[in-house]
Structure 1
Amino acid sequence: MDYSLYPKNDVLCIDMRSFYASVEAVKRGLDPMKVMLAVVGDTSRPGSIVLAASPALKKKHGISNVSRFFELPNDPAIHIVQANMADYLHVSLQITRLLNSFAPKEAIHQYSVDEVWITVNGLEKLFGNRREIAVQIRDAILTDFGITSTIGIGDNKFLAKVVMDLHAKKIESGIAECTYEDVPNKLWPFSVEKIWGIGSRMKRNLHRLGITTLGQIAQFPLSHLKKHFGVMGEQLYWHAWGIDLSPVFGDFTKTTQESFGHGISLLRDYTKKEALTCILDLCEEACRRARTAKKAGRTIHLGIGYSSETGGGFSRSISIGTPTNITMEMHQVCVQLFNKFYDGYSKIRRVYVTLTNLTDDMDTQLDLFDERPKQKDIGYVMDTIRDRFGATAILRASSYTDAGIILDRSQKIGGHWAKSMEN
């Protein structure tokens, strides 16, 4: 492979180790790397997921981020903490501001709350070479926040991310580097499922072709990969050679909104009547987001998952003649889909709705003889009130029933408590 044909940048991928658990440990004056601490999504529910486990807890008891609250051992040395998403977001923002002291904001790409790419091209005279910059960032994060980080260094974002996952997390310094030329030795021997971007389904498909390592992908004919996997096959091939042409500078926050949807995994089984209330709340949230973006949708999607006793569910959509962002119009369509495809007896545990096939709201045709203009105005007025006084300032009466979900969701971020229940 002639790597001289491809861009070579100085990219760092930074991951905060056991981020949620580390934040909680620091808040309590504990050492994040030595204390046994578990962050639980909802400590009032035995089945709630363990969102983060400290390294010591993982090592001693084998607890992972897919464990459940009830699986935690009865060990008095374990600190069990209610998730506090507002704190984690605050610390994440503070760390990003720290990174901004090393590089301009257009060189920082926030991948998740605890992981970020930063491009450090041309900063040698200020901070040294890219490895020296990585050491300074690692030390600054530890000094300012008490949090241990691992850093991958690569010629592009893919190499930085993968070398961090495969190597940096396993060495004492927490810093590993991979250039184009290092790819055969540092990446090719690893199993495909260990490579960022390859999930279980792709792993099975690759295994059917006799491909088990990244090196075997690199040696597989590109034309055959494209035949089997289309565009994904081509990406697999170039990634196997360490080539990634995704931008390393720019406004990474701008994305094209293709749909507005909301979903929820319910804390208990819902009846048909309760599910319809839940659907209304979800439609309210989806349409509010669409109105904020000045968009309306022509296709409405409803998904229902049944409880584990019966399993199954359905996922159906329908397109309407006039694009909408009116809550009751969307809800009416969802009710039609529900009545048509619900089996009539199963308890319901998951619900999601989506408004897609979007168009600009101003493109919507209004009939002078119907009530749609008034309904649209009501929606925008309700949005204004909520923007000014809070998401729960004005609600439909059904939202106050036991089946309503908006009041509960208003206290959460990403499905987890925004503030600790002990606060």
Structure 2
Amino acid sequence: MNYASYPRNDVLCIDMRSFYASVEAIKLGKDPMKVLLAVVGDPNRSGSIVLAASPALKKKYGISNVSRFFELPDDPDLYIVRAHMADYLYVSAEITKLINQYVPKEAIHPYSVDEVWVTVNGLTKLFGSRWEVAKRMKHDILECFGITSSIGIGDNKFLAKVVMDLHAKKQGIAECKYEDVEAKLWSFPIEAIWGIGSRMKNNLNKMGIVTLGQLARYDLNHLKKRFGVMGEQLYWHAWGIDLSPVLGDFVKTEQKGFGHGISLLRDYSMQETEVCLLDLCEEVCRRARTANMAGKTIHLAIGYSKATGGGFSRSRSIQIPTNVTMDVYHVCMDLFLQFYDGVSSVRRAYVTLDNLYKKQETQLNLFEDRAKKNDIGYTMDAIRAKYGSTSILRAISYTDAGITLERSQKIGGHYA
């Protein structure tokens, strides 16, 4: 492969080691790399997931981020703490501010709360090579926050991410240039490579592709025929080529729809599900109103409990775009009553409003006072924006089946 025509940038991929657990360890005055600590979504539920385990806990007991609370060892030295999402978001934002001291914000691309790409082009005269910049950032993050980080260095975002995952988590800092791809990446199984999930792994394995090197040597035309654009992207990634932007606005995308869902903590009856759906519709429509959008297609997805399994997913389009809560709710209830089996308990529900239009493009209906309906929604939104998300709620949201009050205490599905 001749890499002469492909762009070379100085890109770092920075990962905070066991981020949630590290933040909690620092709060307790413990060494994040030595303490036995598990962060649990809800310690009151035995089946609650372990959101993060400290490196020492992972090494000693094999606890991972897919383990459950009841699987934690009975060790007197083990600290079990509830997740505090607001703290993690705050620390993540502060780390981003630290990185912003080295590069402009346009060069910072957050991938998740604990992982970020940073383009460090042109910093040689100020701080030295990209290796030196990585060392400085790693040192500063440890000194300022007590958090150990792993940093991958690459000629593009893909190489920086992959070398971080495969090598830097053991070495601290690792680098992969175009010329290093064959030696440093090709021997790894494809499932170890960022961007290849279990389904794609199984499909590739059936084609005799087990390692990244085998993927790189596979016929490109056959991959494109089998997987389309994704097959072509996989092929070029196997050669270390990634043309995604490394500077600028990474997140400006057209809004396709507004959705809101929940996995319930217990089985819901038919009547309780009706309450849950109203709360979901309220949130979906609030987000649509905030964006000054309205939609013509309402989608409802329902998942039943494990005892019965199954569920359904249906949608319906309406004539006039709307962002009025009760309009969407009535459509959802029609779909629910039509396709619900009448027996099964509900454990998951999801509502989506899409096929969007700008609000000013919607038509008026001469036979109903839509302006009044709209005003009610926008007025409630204004009150919540000023006084808090739970300052005004529908009475039904205060019942045991309501989900808004509990969810208002959470960030990303976990308690703040």
- TM beyond 0.5: yes
Counterpart AA for 2:147 = I
1:354-373 paired onto structure 2 within 5 Å: 354-373=352-371
1:169-318 paired onto structure 2 within 5 Å: 169-171=169-171, 174-318=172-316
Counterpart AA for 2:79 = H
- Provide the rounded CA distance (Å) in 2 between the counterparts of 1:230 and 1:220: 15
Counterpart AA for 2:247 = F
- Provide the rounded CA distance (Å) in 1 between the counterparts of 2:357 and 2:210: 44
Shift of 1:298: 1.1
- Counterpart of 1:344 in structure 2 is 342
Counterpart AA for 1:13 = C
Counterpart AA for 2:285 = C
Further displaced range: 105-114 or 365-374? 365-374
SS in 2 for 1:300: strand
Counterpart AA for 2:204 = L
- Provide the rounded CA distance (Å) in 2 between the counterparts of 1:372 and 1:47: 46
SS in 2 for 1:45: coil
Counterpart AA for 1:376 = N
- Counterpart of 1:17 in structure 2 is 17
Q: How many residues align?
A: 416
Shift of 1:254: 1.9
- Counterpart of 1:141 in structure 2 is 141
- Provide the rounded CA distance (Å) in 2 between the counterparts of 1:317 and 1:186: 48
Shift of 1:345: 0.5
- Provide the rounded CA distance (Å) in 1 between the counterparts of 2:159 and 2:41: 32
Q: Deviations over 1:204-254 (max 9, x none)?
A: 111111111111111111110000000100100110110000000002232
- Provide the rounded CA distance (Å) in 2 between the counterparts of 1:301 and 1:242: 40
- Counterpart of 1:126 in structure 2 is 126
Q: Deviations over 1:242-301 (max 9, x none)?
A: 000000000223222111001111010000000011011001000000000011111111
Counterpart AA for 1:345 = V
Q: Deviations over 1:64-120 (max 9, x none)?
A: 001111111111111000100000000000000000011000000001000000000
Counterpart AA for 2:94 = Q
Shift of 1:49: 0.6
Shift of 1:324: 1.1
Structure 2 residue 12 is matched with structure 1 residue 8: no
Further displaced range: 104-113 or 359-368? 359-368
SS in 2 for 1:51: strand
- Provide the rounded CA distance (Å) in 1 between the counterparts of 2:281 and 2:300: 10
- Provide the rounded CA distance (Å) in 1 between the counterparts of 2:305 and 2:173: 45
SS in 2 for 1:3: coil
SS in 2 for 1:302: strand
Shift of 1:323: 1.1
Shift of 1:369: 2.8
Shift of 1:357: 1.1
- Provide the rounded CA distance (Å) in 1 between the counterparts of 2:179 and 2:100: 30
Shift of 1:315: 1.1
- Provide the rounded CA distance (Å) in 2 between the counterparts of 1:384 and 1:290: 14
- Provide the rounded CA distance (Å) in 1 between the counterparts of 2:190 and 2:371: 54
SS in 2 for 1:5: coil
Counterpart AA for 2:141 = I
Runs of 4+ in 1 over 6 A off after TM superposition: none
TM-score (norm 2): 0.99
Counterpart AA for 1:93 = A
SS in 2 for 1:2: coil
- Counterpart of 1:81 in structure 2 is 81
- Provide the rounded CA distance (Å) in 2 between the counterparts of 1:375 and 1:76: 58
- Provide the rounded CA distance (Å) in 1 between the counterparts of 2:349 and 2:76: 38
- Provide the rounded CA distance (Å) in 2 between the counterparts of 1:357 and 1:269: 32
- Provide the rounded CA distance (Å) in 2 between the counterparts of 1:307 and 1:71: 23
- Provide the rounded CA distance (Å) in 2 between the counterparts of 1:298 and 1:369: 19
SS in 2 for 1:4: coil
SS in 2 for 1:34: coil
- Provide the rounded CA distance (Å) in 2 between the counterparts of 1:76 and 1:271: 41
- Residue ranges of structure 2 left out of the alignment (5+ in a row): none
Q: Deviations over 1:359-381 (max 9, x none)?
A: 11111101233122211111011
- Provide the rounded CA distance (Å) in 1 between the counterparts of 2:2 and 2:190: 24
